[in-house]
Structure 1
Amino acid sequence: MITGAANADVAVLVIAAVTGEFEAGFTGGGQTKEHIMLARGLGVTQIIVAVNKLDVEGWKEDRYQEIQTRVKEFLLKQQFKPKRIRFVPISGLTGENVKARTTSTSASSSSSELSKWYKGPTLLEAINDFFPAKRQIDKPLRFIVTDVFAEGKGIVARGRVIQGFVEVGDSLVVLPVGDIVRVARVEHLQAPSSNGSDDPRRLAVATAGDTVQLVISDKDIDIMRISIGNIFCFPNARPPLTRTATARIMVMEDLAVPIIRGAQVVFHMHSLDVPTVLTNLIAVLNNDGSVKKERPRVLTRGVSASVELTVSEKIVMEAFSECRSLGRFVLRRGGETIAIGVIDTTL
């Protein structure tokens, strides 16, 4: 879930409309709210809520509206913009309103019930209506490795270009190890080659937003020195490699145990999860970012705070203002999300 959300621009949240199922996922220890918070904290800005199994409820409009009201209120609290939120009623079992638009003349009586009040798009139409994400092509290259494997005499590093661009022949540095490699091939993972085969299509250049694989020579680097979560960049435009940073965090509203100085947590950023210590609670913040209270003893549910954190090993982190994907993170403890945050400065 975390890795997927970190590599996504948009999301589809599937919610069961069945009485009891929705409530179990959306209240108490249910995971629906946590999934929304994780998605938003890791950079998803657009979301479609697919209200599934509404046929079990007889396609009742009042049930759909009840779910929409409750979920939309929570999405807005997580700072999703109203125009970036869509709701679509569907039945995954029958395929109703997933691809085909329901009509009042449909043979199915249940289809007729939905068409009486729903005039919106199908799920696929809503997906195709997402706003194109803005790409930071003019910034220094940042390529996040999500998989690595050997292929013949080469090494394939699969991942996503989160900003900048990379071309065949470029010399790149692999962080945190610091080895220099040369890009022999750039291959697109989601498009067939020109001859119709299933082989990846070769590209001359990959730009921000592209999911590609970079093929490099095994003479440049041992495959064991490349790991998931490594960053490829240009040697003359390296991001900070550090263990310590200051950050602004938002503590979850369902936090069970307050956060204290020295708290041990797990720091999640894109494909990384690293043991971390909150070494300093700097201040509790107001909604406008101003200081409400300096040096708090604890952080309780729902507060915004400035903190200092130290991860167990050096990793690439950047200020959120410089690189969004390397500047946003999630803190978890005991398998539960306790805070989401952004990096202010690296130390």
Structure 2
Amino acid sequence: MDLPPDLYGRPRPDRFVQRLTAFGDWYNKPGRRPPAPAPARPTPELPLVVTGHEVIAAEVVELRLGSPYGAELPAWQPGARVQLTLPSGRRRHYSLCGDPADRSTYRLAVRRIEGGGGGSVEIHDGLSAGSRLTARRPRNGFAFCGEPAVLLLAGGIGITPLLPMAREAQRRGLDWTLVHTGRDAASMPFGDELRGLDPRRVVLLTDDHNGPPGAAELIAQGPGNAAVYCCGPAPMLAAVREAVPAGRPLHFERFGAAPIPDGKPFTVRLGEAGPTAGVPADRSALDVLRELRPDLPYSCHQGFCGTCEVRVSAGTPEHRDRRLTPEERAAGALLPCVSRAAEGETLVLDL
């Protein structure tokens, strides 16, 4: 190609332009492999300090967390969760139940579960004002869409993601109703706070009067066209999902693992020569693996946090998670909290 004259008007090609052109010809040469992109850096966890630790209902602790440096916390929207890494190293997900406009504090409410994985007991007994821990930035798999009419159904501690939704619906002037069910009034947090929003729109139902309410009774509390948001125990979710008419918007979040309606039995083995265990059709591989390795970390039980990730060295898995990329799956990653294998298959895991 003809080079432009010297940039300073001298009667010869400009040397800088010559070098630049040569570099461009080399860089754009057909068949040249482009430079590999730099690997993504993991987002660092947030350092947090406990600024409040208070019992607010029977077996329920309210936890308030702030930055130890006084910095603003990352923004979030109603329905969001944070994954906490507790001082013991346990990782657990909890819904944010404070005010998204308050960037100084994350507020959580945690019910004590004896005989569980130990996270709730550690929060109740092992944390106090001044305790340090870390968290991943908020993520939202239960987003509030702000339909004109909404019915919020909470079972027990399932009130935590729905409280900010009620506050947001009130702020927007939506037609909203919130129904909170529980064993008794003493076990149900935030009653006064909810009634303070609008007592006409809040319904509190307790089992100690007429027993647990049925799904039809719950749904009848709101407008017939309302979008339904539900968070609570598995039986409540199953009943509500069955009762909501087809075509009506339904959003829900589980406390833990979803039922396994179509599971087939398969086998897991720890290494080529390690112990082997059968995974029944109605149990997760994570549950079985934790019997072999009680220290195996876990958190959400729902296939989106990635805490329980293991590596498959042999066998063909059936991936059912919502987190791993095709490349990660091809490299052998597996989330045993939800993923399975075909009947009779053996998955060999590097643990």
Instruction: Provide TM-score, normalisation by structure 2.
Output: 0.25
Q: Which has the higher strand share?
A: 1
Larger CA Rg, structure 1 vs 2: 2
Q: Which has the higher helix share?
A: 2
Q: Which has the higher contact order (CA 8 A, sep 6+)?
A: 1
